[in-house]
Amino acid sequence: MTLNEALDALNAAADPARAAEMAAHHKMDRPYLGVTNPEINTLTTAWRQALDIDARVALADALWQTNIFEARLAAAKLLTQARMRPDEAAWELIQSWVPEFDSWAIADHACMAGQRRLLADPARLDQVELWTQSDNIWTRRAALVITLPWTKQNFPSEAEIAARERILGWAAEYVERKNGIIQKAVAWWLRDLSKHAPERTRAFLAEHGAQMKPYAVTEAQRNLPPVEEAPQE
């Protein structure tokens, strides 16, 4: 599978009318083809099955560099796989994309690919922590989106709890920033955490909620179960 063959396949599914709507919605100056997410999924599933890991990484790199919206989504989907050995090249490529994030959809798809690589090697959190100090708002946001798997453990190990607390430390530093992108990222992390660790979520909000935007607090609390009242004697 060459880059030209991949682009031909994407162009075959293009819809100019949908492309115009997507350009207006995403508001970023890049080419849009109007290909739906299910259509991209179908293509990239076939490409993953046909290509070895090195070829997938090479194609993902080439697709990303086109700056075409659907090509960047396809690049991320090519690398969204739980088991991938070796995966160092894939992780390095995903990391190289992070400074170029500029929109929700592309960033979130790339972070979904990165989540698998972090779960495969949690020591990579050391590298993600560096993103929290970036001047780029989207890079800072990515540190929370890519670590969302640590919100989802019902019975976390000691190592998973330590990682979760580490990430909550990043979130605590973030709440001082009133930027909407950052506030929504913190709220998203807490909202997902509340399904599995409601008391930890409440503790974070009790300590830091006053620094958060009201809409972010509301979103963070959205899935919290009601507090059970102590029985009266």
Based on the fold, state whether residues 199 and 215 are members of the same structural domain. yes
Domain boundary among 62, 97, 120: 120
Based on the fold, state whether residues 112 and 179 are members of the same structural domain. no
Assigned domain for 231 exists: no
The Cα diameter of the chain in Å comes to 74
Residue 149: name the closest of 124, 175, 116 by CA: 116
Count of structural domains, the chain? 2
Confidence of residue 232 (pLDDT cuts 50, 70, 90): low
Q: What is the DSSP letter of 177?
A: -
Confidence of residue 178 (pLDDT cuts 50, 70, 90): confident
Based on the fold, state whether residues 165 and 65 are members of the same structural domain. no
Domain boundary among 120, 153, 174: 120
Assigned domain for 13 exists: yes
Confidence of residue 139 (pLDDT cuts 50, 70, 90): very high
Percent of the chain scored above 70 by pLDDT?
97
Burial (CB count within 10 angstroms: exposed 0-12, middle 13-18, buried 19+), residue 222: exposed
What is the reported pLDDT for 228? 66
pTM of the model: 0.93
Distance CA 140, CA 48 (A): 30
Amino acid identity of residue 52, one-letter, is D
Burial (CB count within 10 angstroms: exposed 0-12, middle 13-18, buried 19+), residue 53: middle
Q: What is the DSSP letter of 208?
A: H
Domain boundary among 63, 95, 120: 120
Give the domain extent around 71: 1-120
Based on the fold, state whether residues 65 and 87 are members of the same structural domain. yes
